Structure 1
Amino acid sequence: MSQNTLAEFVEATATKFGIPGVAVGVWVNGQEMYACYGVTSVDNPLPVDRDTMFVLGSVTKTFTATALMCLVAQGRVDLDAPVRRYVPELRLAEEQTAASITVMNLLNHTGGLGLGFIADTGEGDDALARYVAQLPELELIGPPGARASYSQAGFNLIGRIIEKVTGLTYERAVASLLFEPLGLEHSFYPASDVLSRRFAVGHNPGEDGALAVARLRKRWRGDNPGGGLESSAADLLRWARFHLGDGRTESGEEVMPAEMLQRMKEPTVELRGSSLGDAFGIAWFLRDVDGVRTVGHGGSTNGQFAELLLVPERDFAVVSLSNAGPNGIPFNQAVVQWALEHHVGVVDRDPQPIPHDAAWAREVVGDYDMDSMYVTIAGDGTGLTLEVDIKPEIRAAAVTELPPGYAPAAIGRLPGDGDEYIITEGGMKGQRGFFTRDEHGVVVGVDLAGRVATRVA
């Protein structure tokens, strides 16, 4: 497949979804291909290129986890050790959880921690320490090891482990362990490093539907381990090639033993009813698509979206970056699906919902609480919709603009055990989840994108 064909598809898809600027990279048959389209900002436009930096959101977690695994390989961290071995000051809402949660629980989201909270802990070198000091406020969803539930807070805590073990700030440690040896020259956390280079800004639609620049570009330093890295399509493709390789740099320097790198891509806990994956590895989502194992992670921030997918057995990788909501996610998904089909011969299709069941709909309708956000399932007798937004009281208290929520979008019930669903329209189209029930069969929670929300009585 030629570079021109890729470029034509990317331009047509970006135009279809109304994205101001995108950057796409593909590694296939031992070669790199790039397709960039549009501008960094509608207010101050510069052409997007392969080195333009986007905020990666949760794709950052793959860097945080890899940095920690470097410390594991050096014998400085034990995956099965309690987190308190490295962060003895850790306190949580329940002492038993704080005492028993392990490093691996954080890496594969089985710590029983809620998603996270919105907290500006400053831009000083103590930002992560101050974030960890607020963890007693975090909702706990269950005992460590009981189930997987995606947690931003857990990865911020991993960042604090890295600081305590290395004696460096999290950002300096990751740069020393990964960026510098791998030659990632367009990957930074601090705004001072980003602002002197070409970077994208996010966009969201206003009340009139026109896209406007998102003024909160990314969240605070205390959230850096879970979502604060800025990087480019070229650097992310180099990052993907490292994870497809043997743990060495292009010059032969060992960053991590090959078996440790491979361990990150092996299942640690199964996931149910998720479009993100069938299992967690170490940070990575693992998913079988058309009989082929894929390894990936996505990320979203205020109007910026990232998707990174690897197919190890085919030595293939694709990265897609976009700078507008709510269509950044479906744009990235369309690019990944197209690249899989045209370069690997793998077809990724969404499962089809079954006809509407009014009795089931009545059981699941309601409000669900997820830390700083809410999920609302509503029905009109003919179908169901799902809405996600930041809680009104948190928006009211915010001193800066927060990302918009997702408007109500239709969902359909999936065949199988009867409590799985798929979103069939809007910016979250294709996302899957499931409802959980108590011992009496009453719906008490909903999972969305690997995160659990508890039903509000």
Structure 2
Amino acid sequence: MSYCSSICAVILAMLLTTPLVWHRVHAATAAQTGQNAAAETPSRKPAMALDELSRRLETYADNVFAATNVPGMAIALAHGDSIILEKVYGVRSLVSREPVTRDTVFPLASLSKGMAGISAVLVHLDAVENDTASFDIDAPLQRFLPRFELADPWVSRHVTAADCLSHRTGLPPDAGELLKSLFGYSNWEIFKRFRQLELARQFRDDFTYQNYVFTLGALAAANAAGHATWSELANERLFAPLGMNATTSHDAYIRAPNHAVPHILQPEGFVPNTLPEREDQDAASGVFASLKDMERWIRALANDGVVDGSRVLPEKALELAFKPRNLVSTSGPTATLYGLGWQVSFMDSARVVHHQGSLGEGVNTVVALLPDYDLCLAVLTNGFMVGAPGAIKSKFEELVILGEDVQNQLPHHMELAGFMLKTMAESYGRMPPPPAIPRTAAPHERCTGVYEAAYWGRVAIEHDASGNLVAIFGNSPERRVLRHYDANVYSMEVAVPLAGPDAAFPTAVEFTCPNDKPCESVRFRRLDTEGRSGVFSR
């Protein structure tokens, strides 16, 4: 699965719903607060002086960096239009050992979503101000993307960009994943295939974390504003006005001499990894920025859209982006909601507007805004999710709102990292050793041919020069070798980015071959996911 998004979503849900002692608000109260979250509230004073807050948060960040051994980290804290804490740690790469600086460009991962939500709202507000129907974030998506269609005709006619940007379309988790990495389809080919998916969840009632569906909502806004990609819209409406001159796309990130290399976690420690291009999910996880640029971003958030005395973001845009539209969970005493690319939770009735980012290749980030206190935090790391950003975020909230150290969240976040590694391995269907005497397989000529599945498309089974069966998926040129396992069962290796630069797990491939006839179907166990079958028919 591309970038381990499914497992990252599992961890995200756990982070959002695990009862923590510092959440002092009942679910019902939080839900009611969420309904009024967009209402203007007077600024509160932090529970301690700002210099004391900065000192204690810096000390905690120092300890977290030392405890997690994450290769590099950058942290900034804004109060209104001022940066009151800024610090960089470690190295860009454990190979080059070059130090992290304010200008080091990090992958932001899902922090991109908050930027996409606000940019979509800007296009919406433009249409409202100019009294045009060019874009409405709450209008049917088909009005702006006529080619878009889902399996359910009624939902097709009613689903909106806001539904996509708040993860409430009802499509199965991670709809679209693997269609790019395994099958090589373009974004529009992926979007077209959504019509082959039955809704797995209730439309507008369930939270289902997705990257391609989210990207679709942002792309609708970009197209309405005359842009071919969301990145173009973001550059015009966010990054250029804010002076975020180093904020960029994947290709420019790779070319930048000062960029943070992602690192995955191995038994021997962190190991440098590679990051595939992310243009296909630019709005969901494809933005790259330096700490210097992120400081301008968090200043805008903490100061109601004003930077250096000039308004760059309308207050209404922030209000609409932060407005809760979906309920993530009501677990124990907590409630977490979701706006347009932003999570909204509460501590002592104070709003926390935030989002974490995680890429399986070895990136973990967070932004947390306390709008009632005019404070916003950013933490960037170039290591796999071992809890550093999340723990610092939790401490930030405690110190500002409660004024005390209630609980060290680092052990909790580090425990989740171990769970994530274990769950990822299991999700790829590692196979046990084959039997001592494998049963004979059907002749290869009965297996070869073209098989199809409505959602996935086609897979061709052919011979390679060495006589092995190989699978060729969709538009991908890659020929994946099938190794005989037992009878008509083969194994195929699937890349697992978080396990290492060249790591792969074997997954089962099962042919159904009646009597002496050509095989009728082939099943790829890796493709058996919620709402999707891995069976391809001849």
**Does the pair score TM above 0.5?**
yes
Alignment of 1:63-142 (within 5 A): 63-75=115-127, 76-116=134-174, 117-120=177-180, 127-136=186-195, 140-142=199-201
Match of 1:24 in 2: 75
Task: Verify: 1:250 aligned to 2:315, yes or no.
Answer: no
Structure 1 residue matching 2:497: 3-state secondary structure: coil
Name the larger-Rg structure.
Answer: 2
Structure 1 position 165, deviation (Å): 1.2
Aligned AA for 2:143? Answer: R
Aligned to 2:223, the other structure's residue is in SS state helix
The alignment status of 1:282 with 2:340, answered yes or no, reads yes
Q: Which moved more, 1:340-349 or 1:171-180?
A: 340-349
CA contact (8 A) 2:68 2:388 kept: yes
Q: Cα distance 1:303–1:138, how it changes in 2: closer, same or farther (>3 A)? A: farther
Determine the C-alpha separation between the residues in 1 that align with 2:408 and 2:105.
Answer: 34
Residue 403 (str. 1) matches residue 403 (str. 2): no
Work out which of the residue numbers 85, 95, 115 in structure 2 matches 1:33: 85
Offset at 1:20?
Answer: 0.9
Secondary structure, aligned partner of 2:258: coil
2:405 and 2:423 mapped to 1: Cα distance?
25
Q: Which moved more, 1:271-280 or 1:183-192?
A: 271-280
Kindly indicate whether residue 482 of structure 2 is the aligned counterpart of residue 387 of structure 1: no
Give the counterpart letter for 1:318 in structure 2.
Answer: L
Structure 1 residue aligned with 2:101, among 49, 56, 78?
49
Task: State the Cα distance separating 1:28 from its structure 2 match.
Answer: 3.3
Q: Is the 8 A contact 2:364 2:385 kept in 1?
A: no
Q: 1:241 to 1:71 in 2, by over 3 A?
A: same
- CA distance, structure 1, for counterparts of residue 336 and residue 405 of structure 2: 14
- Residue 205 of structure 1 is matched in structure 2 by 265
Q: Deviations over 1:177-235 (max 9, x none)?
A: 110001112211131355224111111123x43321122x1453211111111112332
How far does the alpha carbon of each residue in 1:342-363 deviate from its partner, in whole angstroms, 9 at most, with x for none? 34545686899xxxxxxxxxxx
Q: Secondary structure at the match of 2:244?
A: coil
Does residue 60 of structure 1 match 2:112? yes
Cα root mean square deviation, aligned: 3.6
1:279 CA drift (Å): 1.2
Give the deviation of 1:339 after TM superposition. 2.4
1:145 deviation in Å?
Answer: 1.5
Letter in 1 for 2:66: T
Q: Is the 8 A contact 2:197 2:532 kept in 1?
A: no
Question: Is residue 2:393 matched to residue 1:331?
Answer: no
* Aligned counterparts of 1:45 and 1:140: Cα–Cα separation in 2: 48
Query: Aligned in 2, Cα 1:455/1:154: closer, same or farther, shift over 3 Å?
Result: closer
Counterparts of residues 213-232 of structure 1 (less than 5 Å): 213-215=272-274, 217-232=275-290
**CA offsets per residue over residues 312-367 of structure 1, 9 Å max, x none?**
0101111111122241xx11122112223334545686899xxxxxxxxxxxxxxx
In the TM superposition, what whole-angstrom CA distance separates every residue of 1:72-98 from its partner, at most 9, and x where no partner exists?
Answer: 011131122111111111133434332
What is the aligned partner in structure 1 of residue 44 from structure 2? none
SS of 1:314 mapped into structure 2: coil
Which of 298, 319, 328 matches 1:262? 319
Q: Secondary structure at the match of 1:225?
A: helix
Unaligned 5+ segments in structure 1 are 353-375, 378-384, 406-451
- Displacement of 1:35 after TM fit? 1.5
Q: Which moved more, 1:61-70 or 1:159-168?
A: 159-168
Alignment partner, residue 180 of structure 1? 240
Question: Residue 88 of structure 1: SS of its match in structure 2?
Answer: coil
Distance 2:368 2:303 in 1: 15
Q: Give, in angstroms, the shift of residue 286 of structure 1.
A: 0.6
Judge conservation of contact 2:104–2:290 (CA < 8 Å) in 1: yes
One-letter identity of the residue aligned with 2:98: L
The question of 1:306 aligning with 2:357 is answered no
Q: Judge conservation of contact 1:110–1:148 (CA < 8 Å) in 2.
A: yes
Residue 150 of structure 1 is matched in structure 2 by 209
1:292 aligns with 2:328: no
Change (3 A) 1:156 1:31: closer
Q: Which amino acid aligns with 2:101?
A: D
Indicate how the Cα distance of structure 1 residues 245 and 186 shifts in structure 2: closer, same or farther if over 3 A, else same: same
Unaligned runs of 5+ in 2: 1-50, 128-133, 410-418, 431-472, 474-479, 481-490, 501-528, 534-538
Give the distance between the partners of 1:219 and 1:283, measured in 2 at CA: 21
Count residues in correspondence.
Answer: 373
1:273/1:404 Cα in 2 relative to 1: closer, same or farther (>3 Å)?
farther
Distance 1:196 1:113, change over 3 A: same
Alpha-carbon distance in 1 for matches of 2:186, 2:531: 29
Partner amino acid, structure 1, of 2:397: L
Task: For residue 392 of structure 2, give the secondary structure of its aligned residue in structure 1.
Answer: helix
Structure 1 residues 261-310: Cα deviation after superposition (integer angstroms, max 9, x where no partner): 21222222333246996211222111112332110011101210111000
**Cα distance in 2 for residues equivalent to 1:79 and 1:283:** 13
Task: State the identity %.
Answer: 22
User: Within 1, Cα distance between the matches of 2:186 and 2:222?
Assistant: 11
Bigger Cα displacement from structure 2, 283-292 vs 270-279: 270-279
Structure ranking higher on relative contact order (CA contacts 8 Å, 6+ apart): 2
SS at match of 2:103: coil
